[in-house]
Structure 1
Amino acid sequence: MDANREGRDGPPGDEPVLLVHGYGDTGHSPWWRTLADHFYDSGYTRDAVETLSLGWLPGTTVGSPERYARRIGRAVERLRDRHDSRVDVVAHSMGGLGVRWYVEREDGAPNVHDLVTLGTPHQGTALARAGSWTPGGRAMLPGSDFLRTLNGRRLPRAVNYTAVWSEDDEAVLPGHRARLPFTASNVRNVRVRGPGHIGLVTSHDVFDSYAETL
């Protein structure tokens, strides 16, 4: 967020926003329209908020975050070119891991200004064992090769990170595993109570907890 925006009209942030879903989900699920409406209500124009869908059918988007990172990157770069601006990304669940891979391992940092993750298992989740037959499930296992690689070096300073996690998240177990395991001036972990995994996307209170950082 630009500190000089205080007292000005318009949305909290100056950059367009890409919304990214997670494991087994699609951008066509109704909760993504709810989140987009939060952005519109706060002053964003409709052409400044884009929802990415990595598949059409729920339950089919179970590939590796590394694989999805390429498609996320293309969406970020299209939005960047259309608005001639860096992009803010709000990503849910495994979607946050795909965005991080693009930003941190595929040189996407110059294209992203703020990254907000909602219930993203940055440190894995015990529930991933139920999906360990899929590449995405294996990537989210605590201590997986994917997570060790992703968390094995410092985050780029050019990107501002906010990780929102819920004590009542029924998919990231325990909930604090959705914290970013880094201490830096550009990293912020936000704990909330009440919303479950999908509620992190739809809750207006959760939206308010990160909107002013954009």
Structure 2
Amino acid sequence: MSQRTRRGVLRAVGAVGASAIGANAVGTATASGSATVQRPGPEPVLLVHGFGDTGETPWWDVARHYFEDVGYPESAVHYINLGEVPGTTVDSPEVYAEAVQAKLESVSDEHGSAVDVVAHSMGGLDSRWCVEKLDGAQYVDDLVTLGTPHRGTYAAYLAELTPGGRDMQPGSEFLTDLNDGQLAEGVSYAALWSSVDELIDPSYYASLPEPELSSVESALNENTGYQEHVQLVYDRSVFDQYYPLLD
């Protein structure tokens, strides 16, 4: 089965499953007659943390609650731990991409649908390598990145001794291979970036470059305003900008 065919089947199954949920579906009425908050789509979500982080730091707890606020059941919001101890997840995005793909396959099989990915910082590079260079595109519907150094960041020179730090340097071999002019067909991309992100230098390097941006049917860059790097995960105004894109 081709990647495009598999994703089409998964979407169809997911849509049927969403309609069968009933009271948990988006826009339905509660017993008191008030409407629930709109959930933009039926796919489960996978949250992917970044360099030096884990999926269990406090800001990710906040993000998971936001998803529940807008109609996602707890069982539909997944996260990945690329390491158990904060500060140790500093390997290459190429390495972590394999773990992201395995998690995507697991979540897709569990729900019988494609998966939406929300990735922060280097987690967006892990996710892009997964969908563009491995076989992850068949599992992914939407990919949202928050403060991901798609074009690198000069702050990465502070982490020169780590594989991840070297890969995030502007002009690195990793970024040259990743930014080859073509995003993954069939995946909708959104790159959100902040004007005052202290770890992305220059800040607009967290936006998708050309010709990648124009290489697929659905891809956009969106400036979130004025948030610090980790704040992009837990700031409600940022969440409200991207969650409607998970349709």
TM-score by length of 1: 0.95
Runs of 4+, deviation exceeding 4 Å: none
2:121–2:147 CA contact under 8 A, matched in 1: yes
Indicate the SS of the match to 2:117.
Answer: strand
Distance in 2, Cα, partners of 1:17 & 1:186:
19
Higher-Rg structure is 2
Percent identical among aligned pairs is: 50
Distance in 1, Cα, partners of 2:42 & 2:220:
20
Q: Give the paired residue count.
A: 210
Superposed displacement of residue 121, structure 1 = 0.1
Distance in 2, Cα, partners of 1:153 & 1:183:
8
Cross-structure match for 2:231? 199
Q: Does 1:140 align with 2:144?
A: no
Letter matched to residue 129 of structure 1: Y
Indicate the SS of the match to 1:25.
Answer: coil
Superposed displacement of residue 51, structure 1 = 1.4
Cross-structure match for 2:67? 39
1:157–1:186 CA contact under 8 A, matched in 2: no
Superposed displacement of residue 120, structure 1 = 0.2
Indicate the SS of the match to 1:115.
Answer: strand
- Structure number with the higher helix fraction is 2
Task: Kindly report the root-mean-square deviation, in angstroms, between the aligned alpha carbons of the 2 structures.
Answer: 1.4
Q: Structure 2: give runs of 5+ residues left out of the alignment.
A: 1-14, 20-25, 29-37
From 129, 135, 138, the equivalent of 1:107 is: 135
Distance in 2, Cα, partners of 1:213 & 1:105:
24
Structure 1 residues 42-81: aligned runs within 5 Å = 42-81=70-109
Q: Which stretch shows the higher mean deviation, 137-146 or 175-184?
A: 175-184
Cross-structure match for 2:242? 210
Distance in 2, Cα, partners of 1:55 & 1:193:
30
From 184, 194, 200, the equivalent of 1:172 is: 200
Structure 1 residues 23-38: aligned runs within 5 Å = 23-38=51-66
Cross-structure match for 2:11? none
Q: Which stretch shows the higher mean deviation, 182-191 or 199-208?
A: 182-191
Superposed displacement of residue 194, structure 1 = 1.7
Distance in 2, Cα, partners of 1:74 & 1:41:
28
- Which structure's relative contact order is higher, taking Cα pairs within 8 Å and 6+ residues apart? 1
TM-score by length of 2: 0.82
From 165, 172, 187, the equivalent of 2:219 is: 187
